[in-house]
A = this chain, B = another copy of it.
Amino acid sequence: MVLTREAVSPRAILVPIGSEVVSGNVVDTNSAYLSRELTQLGFEVIQHLAVKDEAFLIREVLEEALGKADLTITTGGLGPTFDDITKEVLTGISGQPLIFNPAQFRHIQDYFRKRKRRLHKNTRRQAYFPRGSRIFPNRFGVAAGIGLEKEGKWLIALPGVPHEMEGLFKTEIAPFLGSHFGKFKTVAVINAKIIGLSEVEAVERMGARFPPADENIQCGIYPSPGEATLRLTFRTSDRKKAGSLVRFWSKTLRSKLGDYLISLTGESLEEVVGKLLAGRRQTVALAESMTGGLVAKRLTDILGSSRYVRGGDVVYCDQIKNSVLGIDKKTLSRYSAVSPQIAGLMAQSSRAKFSSDWALSVTGNAGPGSQGGQPVGTVFLGLSGKNTRLVKKCFFAGTRERIRWLASQAALNMLRLALLNG
């Protein structure tokens, strides 16, 4: 949900090129990356136009984009194989032939030599560029970026491999764009992550004066499973003003959203929980049934998590809950594995076993059928701490993947709240 419109900014259109994108074999993540970066630089991205590897279609799309936008960036189609035709299309648009660039060819030879890979005969094609174009050297691969100016507008072609494209953008393209379009610079962005409120509820909490009626502040709120992101973009070329805007809005978000606010910088729930644990020099252990390792996986996704993750158990059947966590067989059959009692015992037992400050447990039913009388989507969470014994019941609808994800979200948030308030 877009909350406010943005000020007039230079407009950009992104053109991912490749049949693998339009056939659905590859999800285009490049455009989302470039959109975020370009927004930070002060551009307004108005379209993504993915197109298959067919020269006349690509040319049509690029000419349309040049008509509408100040900046057009293509990704893909700069490789050595027959379906890489972006450069041929560029020559059509610029009216300039491809000419050989010896410096780029040396770079390509070096690149292959260092990696002890043989140079395919087609690779020489990658050292040709439209005459008069600007070449952006690629330190991360072979395909250099290409810039063409046409009637004051820029068309830039980048390679499609995400890490090459991102590296090239950061090192070469962003500085170039900054020098050309610098006066529109966006100085600051707040990415507020929210848990436990719907989009509408979060906006309601912000009060009637939100979103602010300032065309230089752009607001939007975007849901994803189990959380929402409220994004504020401040467009100003005055660094001081940007700083004070960020401070003011950070304070406002904190006071209005309270514990529903996970972070202001887009930090994930697992990063925030990790920082809280590390800051308190405390540790955590996990006892997971229905999430099958997902909570442990998320916590250990974070660099440095060995400081606070002691370990965990995946206890996927009753027998294992007994043998690994030492939960009494009679208790298990009395309450059934999907019960508040067992969630509580799992957390307590895990905390004792791993000698950790905290232990978090998840037991529930992710399907297919009902289990111990509990319908699909029922989840019990347990949290054990020095002075804490909590059990929470949740219910989630949707697919197995979604139910497991939402259970991991709720479990991590339970620990976050205990750390904040403990």
What residues make up the interface of A, taking CB atoms closer than 8 Å to B?
A: 1-2, 14, 16, 19-29, 31-37, 39, 45-54, 57, 61, 64, 79, 81, 83, 120, 163, 200, 220, 222, 224, 229, 231, 286, 288, 291-297, 299-301, 303-306, 309-317, 320, 323-324, 353-355, 367-368, 398-402, 404
Cβ of A292 and Cβ of B300 under 8 Å apart?
Answer: yes
CB <8 Å contact, B312 and A368: no
The reply to whether A313 and B312 form a contact with Cβ atoms under 8 Å apart is: yes
- Cross-chain contact of A400 among B14, B48, B303 (Cβ < 8 A): B303
Chain A, interface SS category: mixed
Enumerate chain B residues within 8 angstroms of A28, measured Cβ to Cβ.
27-28, 31-32, 48
C-alpha gap A37/B23 in the complex (Å): 9
Tell me the number of copies of this protein. 2
Can you name 29 A-B residue pairings with CB atoms under 8 Å?
A: A1-B79, A1-B81, A2-B20, A2-B83, A19-B220, A21-B48, A22-B31, A23-B35, A25-B220, A26-B32, A28-B31, A28-B48, A46-B54, A47-B50, A47-B61, A49-B49, A50-B50, A163-B399, A291-B297, A292-B301, A293-B294, A293-B300, A294-B300, A301-B400, A301-B401, A312-B316, A313-B324, A314-B314, A324-B353
Q: Which residues of B contact A367 (CB under 8 A)?
A: 303
Q: Judge whether A34 and B25 touch: CB under 8 Å.
A: no
With A25-B220, A47-B49, A48-B21 known to touch, is A316 a contact of B306 (CB < 8 Å)? yes
Q: Which residues of B contact A368 (CB under 8 A)?
A: 303-304
- When the two chains form their complex, are residues A220 and B23 in contact, meaning their CB atoms are under 8 A apart? yes
Task: Decide yes or no: A305 and B292 within 8 Å by CB, A46-B52, A120-B200 being known contacts.
Answer: yes
9 A-B pairs closest in CB distance: A292-B300, A24-B35, A293-B296, A293-B293, A48-B50, A24-B36, A312-B314, A293-B297, A24-B32
Q: Which residues does chain B contribute within 8 Å of A49, judged by CB atoms?
A: 47-50
B300 pairs with A309, CB closer than 8 A? no
CB pair B306–A310 under 8 Å, yes or no, is: no
